[in-house]
Amino acid sequence: MATNRQAAASSPWRAPIVLAILAVLFVLEGTVRNGMFSGSWNTALAILNMGLISAIVALGVNMQWGYAGLFNVGVVGFLAVGGLAPVLVSLPPVEGAWDAGGPRLILSLLVGLGVLAAAKIVYTRWRKGWLVALVLIAGFFLFRHLFDPAVVAIEANNPARHGNIGGLGMPILTSWLVGGLFAAAAAWAIGKVALGLRSDYLAIATLGIGEIIVAVLRNEEWLARGVMNVTSIPRPVAYEIDLQRNPDFAEFAAGWGLPVAEASGIWVKLSYMSLFLVVLLAIMLLAELALKSPWGRMMRAIRDNETAAEAMGKNVTGRHLQVFILGSAVIGIAGAMMVTLDGLLAPTSYNPLRYTFLIWVMVIVGGSGNNWGAVLGAVLIWFLWIKAEVWGPALIGLLTGPMADGPLKAHLLESAPHMRFIAMGAVLLLVLRFAPRGLVPER
Amino acid sequence: MSDQDAVFGNRGNRDLSVVNPRGRGMIDGTRRSGPVGEGRPGDPFLIGENMTGGYGKGADILHNCTIAVEQGQIAVIVGPNGAGKSTAMKAVFGMLNLRQGSVRLGGRDITALNPQDRVKAGMGFVPQVNNIFPSMSVEENLEMGAYIRKDDIRATMEQVYELFPAVAAKRKQAAGELSGGQRQQVAVGRALMTQPSVLMLDEPTAGVSPIVMDELFDRIIAIARGGLPVLMVEQNARQAMMIADKAYVLVQGANAHTGTGKELMQNDEVRRTFLGG
Amino acid sequence: MDILNGLVVFLNFVFIPAAAYGAQLALGALGVTLIYGILRFSNFAHGDTMAFGTAIVILLTWGLQALGVSIFPLPTALLALPLAIALTALLVLGTDRAVYRFYRKQKAAPIIFVMASVGVMFVMNGLTRLLIGVNEQRFDDGARFLIDVRTFREMTGLAEGLALRSTQALTVVLAFAVMVALFWFLNRTRSGKAMRAYSDNEDLALLSGIDPERVVRLTWIIAAGLMVIAGTLYGLDKSFRPFNYFQILLPIFAAAIVGGLGNPLGAIAGGFLVAFSEVAVTYPWVRVVGYIAPWYDPGQGNLMQLLGTEYKFAVSFVILIVVLLFKPTGLFRGKSV
């Protein structure tokens, strides 16, 4: 029984239409200056760049949800752990940090992993809970015994400027891959546990691991300096200031009739945009190829009828683990890209509402199971999320115009930016109700 | 199933930390009842006459099928797998969209009533599976059976306990912890709590051992001898026909043979094609 | 004497705070588990609805304070509770009418309800922000202490003092009363049994003449009551910050799952288990050990704290994983297989 027109048929023109609407929105943002749009290409491109990163995150989530039906509510954690990569890989090494406690730190981390592995071996061999507990407790104290002095030493090293372990000074683009690897490792650990249980408890497990990863970033100052943030992460593209000093660029800007400061900003953002587009399209291509391969067909078969697939001898849990790791790796890559774009790792900024649930809105609105849907939905929702911050107060201002000045009006105007939360909730609920398969439904 | 299920395919239905598939209902509880009409003179006590229809908008499963029970009798519906036995009973109970035919009970035409209202009109129905409240005690199961009654239910409860002494001993125990046969007894007892005017059982002996099956049949005969007509779908055709006052053999959703249990047992065609010689 | 002093420190810094926190978590987990049992999905909007209800309590409290109404030594917020519960229940029922009822009619898969609850979470979050902003608010105006450190020391002559904050005592007493009332309702009344029946077997409940919509409405009203009470007690005990209410979702879910989802008794046990473990693992034990085992020298600067307080979420998580590994249905049998 069709309760909405959409369920019956889907048009092949949906994706191009959404793309066209997006293009119009961005052109308006870049050219028209009024109450609704900024009329600045710098702003438009900044929104687009972040939108592209969101699109990659949405792609990762869509791989897990769309291909395998896994409900990941810890996106923020995988994004954050990916964001650690530029710091650890591409920052120049911190003077004295390694000598202060580097080897001991590495040793303690290895011991920590060893303890976990030992516990696992003990459990599989003897199946005794108390023995595992004993190994874990003894291991924990050993770990802390090695770990704590190392951390104290590293954090004492020039705490005003550093106090962290620093990076390896490698090119920033390699850190994007490493970010993916970090997230994949985290996903392997959590997926191994949560998907291996008798029933599936992935949602609550990812919710937990998301919180924990963010807590680690916030509190382990030797790693990411916690609330003090890590700044001046190297860039893969030119710096505005260098461009402005370059006479050739000034001439080039003049040729376009733009002030050199604005032109340099646009140039930098365009360079980022091209990089992001390359990554996005590459992941997209791989994802689509994977979906059409025998592997992808098997994934869909498992998703649609797990029991039948299991009866045919498919290792359902193993496949789920694979796709969970792959999707998380994509999210991790996006995390590293985001930190690169911002030039800064701010552990306190990782808010689950913004980085987990907003991504879910993107995927559902775009169309679960459809990669193009996820990407277009992500850019669209990101655009609306940013603009709602501007449009909300404008709307409230318009509505409260006739009201007499007073505390109520002041309060309404003041809290108007919060309207965007209500708007996003409403968008999700409306899409779920009237077009539940999203803007670009799965074929 | 609805298209809302198709929205996300089978996604997310595995994750028990967010979804709870247990105890989900399939009956559309929002369907409203239509008016009750007049019965026809000379009707049996309960009759589903010339029923044609299927589930939702799907193809017809029943074709011009008629099932009836007289006061104080046992009627059984038997037939090969997929013959539409349970479907015929569900049609009588109002869980099917009937395109033709009518259902009449005790001199009233109840074709337009939804299942809830048919219970109020006097039908006691025991589904084949999921027919108890597993986490509630036996006593609470019976209480819930009598939910629509406003009067004192203690006498009825005692009658049920007399009928099923085995479960009476376990009245404080959770029904889900009982054995298969005892669960069926609780299920039948629950349906009896409304003091129905007809009892409808959908394969009450499915999945229980032969000894338990014999005991259940004994109880069912006792119920019928007590004056309550019983309509029953049965997989074990031979035993069912032995106790039946009237038996309906369905084949592909239509009446193939009708008669008393004894008559059909002696019918060569029924024996050859269906009872296995 | 030293043993007693150690015990007092333990009671003061571990037992009492954990008991209060556990009661708050248990009330939250009860709400989650009720909705899971009857509406069959995990409500992601739970934390934010708690925040919304508490925001209403705070606004009403401020109103009452401005009118000069007070029930000292109890906090004024208690007076505001009934009206706030009624308002929150109305809002929640409105949400059900506008959002969830449609899917229920459609017999939609439970995962769609989860998605819808994410949408509701955004809306609730926005409403709370509109109502009261994102900043920290304090609204506890009752007596601060039932027993304060000085009085306790003078009374007992011990070196260590014991403080029992009135909000802590209130939390435990009120939570206990609410739990008893809830259990009485679920196990003894016709409506409560109807709710359990619906949770067990929707179709059979329908055929028994139980009105599903009435069961659902009752569930939302009770859940609203639990949410507002849990949120208010948490706010009185700690302080009110909307984001904390979002974060508390993890320990609440963990408590509900650890106890066995859909099982009210398990939710309570889970709440206390999570709370006690969180406090015990993140508490610096050095003072307690100093009294109980004075011969042991942990060394300078060693607080004997297993994990920093920032990692309290890790504790709920680890408990959850351990329980699921060894007892997949939760400590008390829940709905899961």
Kindly report, residue by residue over B81-121, the tens digit of the pLDDT.
888 899 999 999 998 888 999 999 999 999 999 999 999 99
Res B277: pLDDT: 53
| Residue of B19, B144, B190 with shortest CB distance to C111 | B19
Compute the mean pLDDT over every residue in chain A, rounded to the nearest whole number: 89
DSSP state of B176: G
* Whole-Å CA distances, B40 to B101, B108, B191: 13, 8, 27
**Nearest residue in chain B measured CA to CA from C186:** B136
| C308 touches A: beta carbon within 8 Å | yes
HSE-CB at A229 with a 13 A cutoff on CA atoms is 12
pLDDT, tens digit (0-9, with 9 covering 90-100), for B139-149: 999 999 999 99
Res A27: pLDDT: 92
Task: Determine the length of chain A.
Answer: 443
How many distinct helices (H) and strands (E) make up chain A?
21, 0
Q: Decide if C42 and B30 are in contact by the 8 Å CB cutoff.
A: no
Residue (of A340, A333, A347) closest to A164 by Cα position? A347
Interface of B with A (CB under 8 A): 2-4, 6-18, 56-57
Res C333: pLDDT: 63
Task: Report the share of chain C in percent with pLDDT over 90.
Answer: 60
Indicate if the alpha-carbon torsion angle A93, A97, A99, A101 is positive or negative: negative
Show residues of chain B in contact with C336, CB under 8 Å. Answer: 16
Residue B19, pLDDT above cutoff 80 = yes
Residue C88, pLDDT above cutoff 50 = yes
Res B236: pLDDT: 86
| Residue of A1, A4, A201 with shortest CB distance to B17 | A201
| Residue of C198, C207, C337 with shortest CB distance to B116 | C207
**Mapped to the 3 state alphabet, what secondary structure does B113-135 carry?**
CCHHHHHHCCEEEECCCCCCCCC
Give the pLDDT band of residue C234 (cuts 50, 70, 90). Answer: very high
* Those residues with Cβ within 8 angstroms of residue B198's Cβ, 6 or more apart along the chain or in another chain: B45, B46, B69, B105, B122, B123, B124, B228, B229, B230, B231
Q: Decide if B56 and A7 are in contact by the 8 Å CB cutoff.
A: no
Please name every residue paired with C240 in a beta bridge, in sequence order, or none if there are none: C137
**CB distance C35 to C223 below 8 Å:** yes
Q: Looking at CA atoms only, how far is residue C237 from chain A in angstroms?
A: 23
| Residue of A208, A218, A419 with shortest CB distance to C126 | A419
**Nearest residue in chain B measured CA to CA from A200:** B15
| Residue of B127, B131, B144 with shortest CB distance to C197 | B144
C 159-198: CB under 8 A from A:
none
Q: In what order do the strands lie in the sheet with B123-126?
A: B123-126, B198-202, B230-233, B74-78, B246-251, B254-259
* Angle between helix C46-67 and C77-95 (nearest 10): 140
**Nearest residue in chain C measured CA to CA from A74:** C250
From-to residues of CATH 3.40.50.300 in chain B: 33-121+199-207+231-271
pLDDT, tens digit (0-9, with 9 covering 90-100), for A269-286: 999 999 999 999 999 999
Two tokens, residue C128: 């709370």
Unique residue bearing structure tokens 């930390």: B17
Provide the 3-class DSSP secondary structure of residue B232: strand
* Those residues with Cβ within 8 angstroms of residue A100's Cβ, 6 or more apart along the chain or in another chain: A150, A153, A154, A156, A157
Residue (of C213, C242, C313) closest to C55 by Cα position? C242
Q: Decide if A208 and C118 are in contact by the 8 Å CB cutoff.
A: no
Two tokens, residue A73: 């509510």
DSSP state of B214: H
Res A2: pLDDT: 40
Average pLDDT over residues A178-186: 96
Considering the four listed CATH numbers 1.10.287, 1.10.10, 1.10.940, 1.10.3470, the one that applies to the domain covering A11-93+166-434 is 1.10.3470
pLDDT, tens digit (0-9, with 9 covering 90-100), for C148-163: 888 888 888 888 888 8
Give the pLDDT band of residue B6 (cuts 50, 70, 90). Answer: low
Highest-confidence segment of A161-175, A316-330, A407-421, C317-331 = A316-330
Two tokens, residue B86: 């349970």
Cα separation, C257 vs A103, in Å, equals: 41
Estimate the share of chain B in helix, then strand, then coil, as percent rounded to the nearest 5: 35, 25, 45
Res A8: pLDDT: 42
> Strand B97-105 vs strand B198-202: parallel, antiparallel, or unpaired?
unpaired
Residue A116, pLDDT above cutoff 80 = yes
Residue A195: CB atoms within 10 A of its CB come to 22
Show residues of chain B in contact with A205, CB under 8 Å. Answer: 17
Residue C122: CB atoms within 10 A of its CB come to 26
Res C32: pLDDT: 95
Residue C299, pLDDT above cutoff 80 = no
Show residues of chain A in contact with B57, CB under 8 Å. Answer: 1
Res A6: pLDDT: 47
CA B233 to chain centre: 7
**CB distance C27 to C274 below 8 Å:** no
Cα separation, A427 vs A421, in Å, equals: 10
Two tokens, residue C123: 């809306």
Res A98: pLDDT: 82
DSSP state of B53: E
Residue (of B74, B97, B77) closest to B85 by Cα position? B77
Residue (of C334, C316, C326) closest to A205 by Cα position? C316
Res A127: pLDDT: 81
Res A4: pLDDT: 45
DSSP H/E element including A302: helix A294-304
Show residues of chain C in contact with B134, CB under 8 Å. Answer: 200-201
Residue B270, pLDDT above cutoff 60 = yes
Res B105: pLDDT: 93
Q: Decide if C107 and B131 are in contact by the 8 Å CB cutoff.
A: no
> What b-and-e string marks burial along B234-257, b requiring 16 or more CB atoms within 10 Å of the CB?
bbbbebbbebbbbbbbbeebbbbb
Cα separation, A282 vs A288, in Å, equals: 10
What is the residue extent of each domain of chain C? 2-326
Q: Which of A389-393, B65-69, B198-202 has the lowest mean pLDDT?
A: A389-393
Q: What is the ipTM of this complex?
A: 0.92
Give the pLDDT band of residue C335 (cuts 50, 70, 90). Answer: very low
B 19-78: CB under 8 A from C:
19-30
Give the pLDDT band of residue A5 (cuts 50, 70, 90). Answer: very low
Residue (of C18, C26, C21) closest to C268 by Cα position? C26
CATH class name, domain B33-121+199-207+231-271: alpha beta
Which comes out higher in pLDDT, residue A265 or A401? A265
Q: Which of A270-274, A299-303, C28-32 has the lowest mean pLDDT?
A: A299-303
Q: Which of A225-229, A340-344, C79-83, C205-209 has the lowest mean pLDDT?
A: A225-229
Task: Determine the length of chain C.
Answer: 337
Q: Looking at CA atoms only, how far is residue A378 from chain B in angstroms?
A: 18
List chains touching A (3+ CB pairs under 8 A): B, C
Task: Report the share of chain A in percent with pLDDT over 90.
Answer: 49
* Whole-Å CA distances, A236 to A172, A177, A249: 6, 14, 18
pLDDT, tens digit (0-9, with 9 covering 90-100), for B133-170: 999 999 999 999 999 999 999 999 999 999 999 999 99
Show residues of chain B in contact with A70, CB under 8 Å. Answer: 12, 15
Q: Decide if A69 and B13 are in contact by the 8 Å CB cutoff.
A: yes
Residue C337, pLDDT above cutoff 80 = no
Peptide bond into A441 cis (omega under 30): no
What is the residue extent of each domain of chain A? 11-93+166-434, 94-165
> Strand B198-202 vs strand B230-233: parallel, antiparallel, or unpaired?
parallel
| Residue of A193, A219, A429 with shortest CB distance to C321 | A193
Q: Decide if A425 and C253 are in contact by the 8 Å CB cutoff.
A: no
Task: Report the share of chain C in percent with pLDDT over 70.
Answer: 98
